[in-house]
Structures are given as C-alpha cells and as structure tokens.
Amino acid sequence: MIPDESYALKSVDIHLREIGQIETSELVKIKSITSLICKFLGWESVELLSALPNLETVRIHIKEEFEKTYSKALCSLLNTCSESGVITCQNWNIEFKKSENILGQNKRIKTMIIAGREKNSDVFEAFGYRDLITIEELDVSECTGITIKDILKVAEVQPITKLRISLTNTNDIESLSNITELKELTICDSEEGSLIKLFDQLATKTSPSLQYLEIKSENLSSEELVLISRIRSLKKFNLYESQQLEDCESLMELANSNIEELTLSLPEFSLQQLFSAFATKTSAKLQHLKFKGGLSRSVIMIEELEELSKIQSLRSLQGTCCCDDISHLRNFKHFVKLDLKLLSVTSEVLQCLANLENLESLALFFNEYKNYIQILLIDEYVNNNTENDYNDYNDYKYNDHIDDNDNDVDVQHVLNDLKNIKKLTLSVSIGVNLTNVYQAFGRKSVKLTHLTTTIRCVEELNEITRIKSLRNLNIFFSRIGKNMTSISELSELESLQITVVYWEIANIRDSILSFLKCCKNLDRLLINTCWVCDLYNIFQRDIHSILKSVRDPTHQGPLTVILNNEVIDRLYNLHRKENIEEILINKKRLLCFENAYLKVFTLDFHNW
C-alpha cells in the first residue's frame, strides 16, 4: 500500500486471518489510523505498531505466546496507544484504559486488567519498568496462578493506587501493606482468617494510605472485622454477607471506626443490632449506607429502618424496603439523599415523601392494571443496581404486596410538591398518559435537568420539550416516528439518548437531523437500536454537513455519536442510564468516522 498523507483512513478491522511482519510494515505506513482491530502471527509485528502516531484504541490478538523477551514490544504498544485497548494471546489477556493527558505529559495507564491461568510471571516482570510505562490501577482477580511476590514485582516500581486480587495462596499477604500509594483494595476470595496478618499490619500503621476496602467473601472472621475497623485511614467499606455482623464486639468496633461509607449485602438475619450500635454512638462517622440484595433477602425490614432513622450522622441511604408504616420516613429529614425503593405505596406515603425537602432524585413506576404507583427515591439508581435487583422488585410487586385499595393518588399534586427534584425517571405501561405530569414540570420547573422516560404519544413529547431546564434526556419511544420533530425545541440539551425499535429507524431521520441544526450545545448523542448499520447509512450522508454549518470547531470539540447495536427487551434495560465514557472503554467499539466536527462510534456486542 502506498502511503498518502491525504488518505484519512481512521479505523482498520483485520480479523479474518493473522498478518505477519511484512504486512504489518505496510499497515503502519497509514499514519492516520486511530482504531485498530487485528490478529498478528507474532510479537515482532506488534512492536512495529509504535510507528502509528495517532493510534488511540486497539483490540488485537497475537497467535504466539507471551514470553519475557517480548516485554519491549508489549510496553511499546501500551505507550503508543493513547486511550484504551485489549491485547490477547495464548497465555494472557490484558485490557487497559489510559487517564486524561495532564500538562502535556504522556498519559498514564489508569486501569490495567490482567487475566490468565499461567503460573509463570513473565508478564508481571514486563510491567516492572517504570521508565517504560506507568500503571495506577491493577486488576489481577482473574489470574489464578499468581502469588503476592508477582504483584509486588509491579507494585514496587509502579505507583499502584488501586488493586483488585483473588488469591488462593496468601503467603506474604502482609506485604501488601507496604504498597505506599495504595488507596483502594478489593479482595475477591479468601479463606476465613487468612487476611489477619494484612489487616493487623494496616491497623497498626500510624499513617496508612488505604481508604477503600471491598471484601467479596463470606468467610470474614470476627477478628478480621475488628482489625478492619481499626484501620485509621479507611473511609469506605464494601462487605458481602458475613455472619460476623451478629457479633457484638465486631459491631461496636465498626461503629467506633472512621468509616464514612458502608455497603452491605443483606444477610438472612436482621441488622438491627448493627444499626443500633451506630445510632448509640454520637461520634459515629457513618454518612452513606447502601444495601445490595443478597442471596437471602433483598428488602430492609421495618425494625432495621427504625434504627436507621436514628443514626444522626447518616446523610445518604439506598436500598429496598416495604414501608407499610411510614412513621420512620418522617424521621429522615436530616438526610441529604434517600435512595429507597418502596414496595408498598399509599397517598400518605407519597405526601410524607413530598415533605422531605432534600429530595433531589425520583423515579415513578406506573401500572395500568392497578391504579397504583411505585416510588423509587434514587440518585444514579440505574448506574448502581443490577438486573437481579430489578427482578426482585418485579417478583415482589406481583405477589400481592402492592396496596391497590388507594386508587385516588394525585400524582400531579405530589410532583408539584417536590420542589427540589433534579433527576426524574418515569416508567409506564402501555395505556398510561403522563402529559399532565410533563406539563406541570414545563410550567414550574427550573431545577429538573435529567429526565429518563418512556414516551407513548406525541402530546407527551410536546410537553417535555417545554421543560427548558433539561440538559440530559433519555427516552424510549414507539409509534411516534416522524412526529418527534418538536424535540428540536430543546436547544440547550447537552446529552440525548434515544432507544428506538428498529422499524422506526427511517422515521426518526428527519427529526434527528432537524434537532442537530437547532441544538448547538449537544456533546453526545446515543441511539440504542438494532441494525445500527442501517442507521449509520441513513445518517452519514447528511449529519456531517449539518454540523459543519452550525458548529465552530475552534470553540467546540466534535459531537460524539454512539450507535448502540443492542436489542433491549426489558423495561429495566430501557431506563438503564449508562455512563457514555464507560461505554466507550468497556464495550467493543469501532470508530467509524472522525474529524473536527464529528466522531461516530458503533458498539458491537457479538463475539469478536
């Protein structure tokens, strides 16, 4: 291939067969390449990729096994690639993401994930050269054959601040306490008592650096929990099910700790004693408490909720509860955030919630078959809960736990009383019309900035476009098609996500193009549908010319357009708000086009 400086090829995908050194030497003459998907015969070809000055992302497979002699080739690729990548070979898988560029310095590797079943440590020795690469976060939880010494080979020369491990061999575990810059530690599996030496070392340090600890094991002993509570620097603690939460000494030590944020998986026994221990300590530091549905149960019990309301230091609570008795909710006025999924709702409950002046995030679930509504007080709820949590909600909802005797709930009145709402999620069944709700927000709201909802008719969309404070909009719609032109009135939007059934793709074309002409501040556009190739073919002819006429590249970066090839078939998934930056890193993507005005990605969810 003859190199041509005017040749603007950005993305290359060669995965039908492996290529060798001669072909690679010709490939790297195309200096414009930013995204590369390829299979190589050997590591010598990989070393040639350093000749690509604009390379941002890679997804490559090397047929040859990795050995120590290929360390230079690996580190060279990590330095050359400026954003993220996945590198696989016969014996190791490596995934990395780089941090933002600071003051013109080379980008550090923000996150490095290493997976493999090899017992040799060649790949760890490759990362033991700080002058070649710099690693901040290391995840080796999928490496089954490594030892503490292997990890220390990297940690002794790299500024590791975040470490994720899973160890069957805990010999020298206490040595991890000597990683001077370590702030976050996740241990995915351990035997009971095997971590005592590590926690003892951390507890006795006068100025430890560890601030976050996550234990994904049910085998934590009472002694280990006590020692964890004595780590002076520890601010956040994430614990899976542990029977030691019934031990009185452990509970008092935990209440005496400096922990400010606690995440628990709900065990089968009551946590009333734990919360009582925190409530009786006037010096308790706990500010944020989050519950994850455990194997035993997923709902906070009434007696637990009563004790929670007495913890004066607590400002944020997230979990699921069946609140037949609302008296405890009245005691939550000192809370800044209430992220509660309530499984039993009455008018009295709604009015009680409306009186909580600190409420900023709300989600409503409507059902046409029973005239009730489900309230979820959330802040980033859809970012922090799993599909299993949603299944728990559905199972509970349809087992006669819903109070359907209260058929006169005035939804619009309640929304009018929620004066400080900034984020709103509305999920409705077919047949429920929310036009009046959107109309109320359009008349009065100056704070609502985030809206996630399902739109069933044009009238609903028209009222949404009158909420001028909106900056982020995430909508799913059907049977609207060409009638969504009013969305152009939201000229101040910064982020728009649309989920559309595939037969509506052609119908939304004119509406989207019209919107782009009016919305000059838009940074991101995400479209969820299937058959994204059809969507890209529809858009590519016109979208660039529109942006060129309305955007100034000297003051604005390119508009990021993400075409998400995903079939969404559950109500929960329709309203799942994903961080777009994480989408671009964590999912297989292909950069289709890029210039000063536009950057288009497609996301591929099939096996590569």
234-248, 277-291, 371-385, range with greatest mean pLDDT: 277-291
Does 358 fall in a domain?
no
Q: Distance (Å, rounded) from C-alpha 74 to C-alpha 54?
A: 18
pLDDT attached to residue 583: 43
Tell me the average pLDDT across 33-47.
93
Residue 87, SS3 per DSSP: strand
| Residues of the chain above pLDDT 90, percent | 23
What's the number of domains the chain is made of? 1
The answer on pLDDT for 372 being more than 50 is: no
d(CA 585, CA 479): 33
Residue 536 maps to a domain: yes
Domain that holds residue 501: 410-603
Pairing, β 598-603 against β 589-594: antiparallel
Using pLDDT thresholds of 50, 70 and 90, give the confidence band for residue 101: low
Residue 456 lies in a domain: yes
pLDDT of 513: 84
Q: Tell whether 319 is covered by a domain.
A: no
pTM assigned to the model = 0.72
* Residue 377 belongs to a domain: no
* Of 74 and 538, more confident: 74
Contact between residue 59 and residue 53 where contact means Cβ atoms under 8 Å apart: no
Decide which of 547 and 401 is more confident.
547
Mean pLDDT of the chain: 77
Statement: residue 532 has pLDDT above 60: no
The pLDDT, as a whole number, for residue 599 is 73
Q: Give the pLDDT of residue 382.
A: 36
| 180: its two tokens | 């001077």
Mean pLDDT of 213-222: 86
Reading the block at residue 268, the tokens are 């089968």
| φ, ψ at 450 (rounded to 5°) | -125, 125
Yes or no: say if 307 and 403 are a contact pair by the CB < 8 Å rule: no
* Any domain includes 392: no
- As given in the structure block, the two tokens for residue 364 are 């409503």
- Please state the rounded mean pLDDT for residues 196-209: 91
- Which pLDDT does position 278 carry in this prediction? 92
Q: Which of 46-50, 257-261, 400-404 has the lowest mean pLDDT?
A: 400-404
What are the tens digits of pLDDT across the range 112-141? 888 886 666 778 877 766 666 788 999 998
> Residue 322's pLDDT is what?
63
pLDDT of 571 > 50? The answer is no
Burial class of 287 by CB neighbour count within 10 A (0 to 12, 13 to 18, 19+): middle
Which among 128, 171, 582, 384 has a CA at the least distance from the CA of 138?
128
Q: Is residue 515, in this structure, part of any structural domain at all?
A: yes
Q: What is the pLDDT of residues 331-343, one digit of tens each?
A: 887 777 776 666 5
492 is a domain residue:
yes
Res. 346 pLDDT band, cuts 50 70 90: low
CATH number of the structural domain spanning residue 580:
3.80.10
**Mean pLDDT, residues 565-572:** 42
Average pLDDT over residues 351-376: 58
pLDDT tens, residue by residue, 469-510? 999 999 887 666 567 778 888 989 999 988 877 667 777 778
* pLDDT beyond 50 at 217: yes
pLDDT in tens, 411-451: 566 666 667 788 887 765 555 677 888 887 888 767 899 99
Residue 378 has pLDDT above 70, yes or no: no
CA–CA separation, 9 and 4 (whole Å): 10
Cβ-based burial of 106 (10 A; exposed 0-12, middle 13-18, buried ≥19):
exposed
pLDDT of residue 408: 45
Number of alpha carbons in the 13 Å side-chain half-sphere of residue 286: 29
